[in-house]
Structure 1
Amino acid sequence: MLTRRTVRCLIAASVAAIVLTHAGPAGADGGIGGVNCRQNPSAPECEVSAGTPGGQGDAAGGGQGRGGSGDGSGGGGDGGCYWAPVDGDLPPPPGKGPQGGWYAWTCVADGLGTQDPPVWLDQAPTVDLVALAQTARSRLRLPSPQIRTNPAAAPFVLVRVPVWLWVDPATWGARSATASVPGVSVTATATPTQVVWSFGDGSDDLACSGPGEPWKRGTDPLASSPCGHTYTSSSAVAAGSAFQLQATVTWSVTWSGAGDGGTLAPLTTTSTVSVRVAQSQAIVGGSQ
Structure 2
Amino acid sequence: MEDLHVHHRAGPDVLTARRPAAVAVLALLLLGASAESAVADGPGGGVQCPPKELDCDITAVDPGEPADSKPGKPGGGGGGALAQQAVKNLRLKGADIGIAPKPSGVGVVGMPVWIWNRPSPTHTGPATASASAGGVTVTATAKVRKVSYRMGDGSDPVVCTAPGTPYAAEYGKRMSPDCGHRYTAPSSTVGGGRYKVTATTTWDVEWAGAGQTGTITTTRDATTSVEIREVQVLN
State the distance in 2 between where 1:140 and 1:58 align: 9
Describe how 1:21-170 pairs up with structure 2 within 5 A. 58=64, 127-170=77-120
Secondary structure at 2:213's aligned position in 1? Answer: strand
Q: Is the CA contact 2:108–2:230 (under 8 Å) kept in the aligned structure 1?
A: yes
Q: Is the CA contact 2:93–2:221 (under 8 Å) kept in the aligned structure 1?
A: no
How far off its partner does 1:271 sit? 0.9
Q: Which has the higher contact order (CA 8 A, sep 6+)?
A: 2
Q: Is the CA contact 1:141–1:175 (under 8 Å) kept in the aligned structure 2?
A: no
Q: Does 1:235 align with 2:187?
A: yes
Secondary structure at 2:186's aligned position in 1? Answer: coil
Secondary structure at 1:176's aligned position in 2? Answer: strand
Q: Is the CA contact 2:95–2:222 (under 8 Å) kept in the aligned structure 1?
A: yes
Which residue of structure 1 lines up, in the alignment, with residue 6 of structure 2?
none
Secondary structure at 2:187's aligned position in 1? Answer: coil
Secondary structure at 1:169's aligned position in 2? Answer: coil
TM-score of the two chains, using structure 1 as the length reference: 0.51
How far off its partner does 1:173 sit? 1.6
AA matched with 2:195: F
Q: Does 1:196 align with 2:148?
A: yes
State the distance in 2 between where 1:151 and 1:240 align: 18
State the distance in 2 between where 1:143 and 1:135 align: 16
Secondary structure at 1:137's aligned position in 2? Answer: helix
Match of 1:273 among 209, 224, 230: 224
How far off its partner does 1:243 sit? 0.8
> How many residue pairs were aligned?
160
State the distance in 2 between where 1:261 and 1:247 align: 29
Secondary structure at 1:218's aligned position in 2? Answer: helix
The C-alpha deviation readout for 1:150-192, integer Å capped at 9, x for no partner, is: 2323221111110110011132222233221122111122211
How far off its partner does 1:259 sit? 5.2
Q: Does 1:181 align with 2:187?
A: no
Q: Which runs of 5+ in 1 are unaligned?
A: 1-56, 60-125
The C-alpha deviation readout for 1:41-100, integer Å capped at 9, x for no partner, is: xxxxxxxxxxxxxxxx738xxxxxxxxxxxxxxxxxxxxxxxxxxxxxxxxxxxxxxxxx
How far off its partner does 1:239 sit? 1.0
TM-score of the two chains, using structure 2 as the length reference: 0.62
State the distance in 2 between where 1:176 and 1:256 align: 12
State the distance in 1 between where 2:227 and 2:168 align: 23
Q: Does 1:207 align with 2:159?
A: yes
The C-alpha deviation readout for 1:187-235, integer Å capped at 9, x for no partner, is: 1222111100111011111111111122234212x11113101111111
How far off its partner does 1:139 sit? 3.3
Q: Is the CA contact 2:78–2:210 (under 8 Å) kept in the aligned structure 1?
A: no
Q: Percent identity?
A: 38
The C-alpha deviation readout for 1:259-288, integer Å capped at 9, x for no partner, is: 542212x1111111121111111224xxxx
Secondary structure at 2:128's aligned position in 1? Answer: strand
